[in-house]
Amino acid sequence: MSKKLLLEIVTPDRKVLSQDVEYVGAPGALGEFGVLPNHIPFLSALGIGNLYYKDGGKTHYVFVSGGFAEVGPDKVTILAEAAEKATDIDLERARKAQDRAQQRLARAQDKIDYARAQASLRRSLARLTCRTSGERSGTC
């Protein structure tokens, strides 16, 4: 029985991560799911949130925004619309994005404006949470 699985995270513009890990936890569209080596294969849509993986006794965080996860017995492939390692998240930029989203939410004129502002706020909050989770775990 293998003790590790390959985690690959890619976006339309780059490969964010390719690493052997012990565990992956990801924000599925219908809730979080976890993967250990030798997991049964499945596909899942991803929501906005924080993916985390464990390796060598440490937990590492990656912000993901939408996309898909393909899980196999020895590999997890994340095809994300956007992804950033916790260490790469610019806190000031994320806070400014949060402020802008809250302002847009307050002045939304219709359901479409409101939904866009709400999604933007969720992304900025997830980035901030990812970065601060990484700092608490010592991975930043």
Mean pLDDT of the chain: 84
* pTM of structure: 0.73
Q: Which domains does the chain have, with CATH numbers?
A: 5-87 (2.60.15.10), 89-137 (1.20.5.440)
pLDDT digits (tens, 9 = 90+) for 106-131: 776 777 676 777 777 777 777 777 76
The CA-atom distances, in angstroms, between 104 and each of 68, 82, 120 are 28, 21, 9
Q: What angle do CA 15, 85, 68 make, to 5 degrees?
A: 55
The CA-atom distances, in angstroms, between 95 and each of 51, 83, 98, 124, 128 are 20, 17, 5, 7, 7
Least confident among 3-7, 15-19, 29-33, 126-130: 126-130
